[in-house]
Structure 1
Amino acid sequence: MMLDIKESKIIGCYELIPRIFSDNRGRFVKTFHEEVFAQAGLETNFAEEYYSVSHKGVLRGLHFQKPPREHTKVVYCVHGEVMDVVVDLRVGSPTYGKYDIFDLNSDKANMIYIPKGLAHGFYVKSNQAILIYKVTTVYSPENDTGIRWDSVGIPWPNDNPIMSERDRMLPVFEEMQNIFTY
């Protein structure tokens, strides 16, 4: 198989490890194959894709979109290295309120499959990182929100990361309305 799918601590969230083809020219990595995703029970209907460029010490997140514009995401790092984090926001889930941490980096070419109802964020460990996001719904500013980065006990590498004012002002996990159900 050209893609290993590893379960994470969070139900429905997976680390995807693609096969890397390397030779004297460099590397080739296939990040999506509709049939492989479908056979594994993963979403295949992606509506939008974008990327972010961030510098060392930047923390983005913890973000999600509220219903009816919630989405499944696949994220991966094509340059650099990040500490990637997901938090389960689905009331009734056995992993509700819990988080999992992944080391995403361009050498490993690993990806995270993030189902609806999870918050997502990352901290940049390398001098620069480029993350690609593939999502199942189009960005909706009125449904875009998140929880504060320091409200669920995640052991971030830095107590004072570089962040947007918006991310610093997100509500804490305990104040968040229960908008997702398992």
Structure 2
Amino acid sequence: MNIRPAALPGVWLVEPVVHEDDRGYFMEAFHEADFAAAIGQPIRFVQDNQSGSRRGVLRGLHYQLPPHAQGKLVRVLRGRILDVAVDLRRGSTHFGRWVAHELSDDNRLQVWIPPGFAHGFLVLSDHAEVLYKVTAHHAPEAARTVRWDDPQLGIRWPLAAGQAPVLSARDASAPWLAEAEVFGPYTCGP
């Protein structure tokens, strides 16, 4: 496995080694010890979530507040998405910054999004199946969302001019970053 830091500190890209032959392929999608050694801390996943969505669906930007904050290891089983992580740790030198990666069943990339970050994705293919391992169970009382199109964030979603994404009612009515309840104060690290 090739595990390397993304452009936004705390976020990591995971590229599995794929063994292919005339039968198909085999890959190790996750290795606990290798992952912990690469990111410098042990991670315990408690739940796997899977979603299926059609082209143009935008899910996010979602996060959970402490003590239920979630880290997520995200990958695409089928299709293609633009996956986005946003630093919501008030006091971090990267607060409000985001990073995006295209994840697909072709490139088999995964992205680690640590607690303290919001997560969202836009489906770029006709259909996408997304699997994400999480470090905390879903806790509705701690679940939050922030606007996908907040100009303060300035996320460059690959939407055609005038094209609106397909959103849930919750995501469509999400607060702006300036009004959102976020993590903090964050006083160590980047």
TM-score range, shorter chain: over 0.9
The equivalent of 1:5 in structure 2 is 3
1:22 counterpart = 2:23: no
Provide the aligned length of Structure 1 versus Structure 2. Answer: 180
Q: Which amino acid aligns with 1:139?
A: H
Preserved CA contact (<8 Å) 2:49 2:131: yes
Q: Which amino acid aligns with 2:79?
A: G
The equivalent of 1:31 in structure 2 is 29
Q: Which amino acid aligns with 2:170?
A: R
1:161 counterpart = 2:165: yes
The equivalent of 1:121 in structure 2 is 120
Counterpart Cα distance in 1 of 2:51 and 2:95: 28
Residue deviations 1:37-86 (CA, integer Å, cap 9, x gap): 12122442111111000001110000001111001110000101000101
Residue deviations 1:59-118 (CA, integer Å, cap 9, x gap): 000000111100111000010100010100011212111000101011111000011100
CA separation of 1:114/1:78 partners in 2, compared to 1, >3 Å: closer, same or farther?
same
Preserved CA contact (<8 Å) 1:43 1:72: no
The equivalent of 2:73 in structure 1 is 74
CA separation of 1:181/1:112 partners in 2, compared to 1, >3 Å: closer, same or farther?
farther
CA separation of 1:43/1:72 partners in 2, compared to 1, >3 Å: closer, same or farther?
farther
Give unmatched runs, 5+ long, in structure 2: none
Q: Give the deviation of 1:35 after TM superposition.
A: 1.2
The equivalent of 1:45 in structure 2 is 44
What is the TM-score of this pair, normalised by structure 2? 0.91
Counterpart Cα distance in 2 of 1:126 and 1:165: 22
| SS of alignment partner, residue 36 of structure 1 | helix
Q: Name the structure with the higher strand share.
A: 1
The equivalent of 2:177 in structure 1 is 173
Counterpart Cα distance in 1 of 2:57 and 2:111: 19
Q: Give the deviation of 1:149 after TM superposition.
A: 0.3
RMSD of aligned residue pairs (Cα, Å): 1.2
4+ residue runs of structure 1 moved beyond 4 angstroms?
none
Residue deviations 1:11-43 (CA, integer Å, cap 9, x gap): 111111111111111122211111101212244
Q: Which amino acid aligns with 1:99?
A: W
Give unmatched runs, 5+ long, in structure 1: none
Residue range with higher mean Cα deviation, 32-41 or 77-86: 32-41
Preserved CA contact (<8 Å) 2:54 2:128: yes
Q: Which amino acid aligns with 1:36?
A: D
Q: Give the deviation of 1:181 after TM superposition.
A: 3.6
The equivalent of 2:63 in structure 1 is 64
The equivalent of 2:96 in structure 1 is 97
Percent identity reads 39
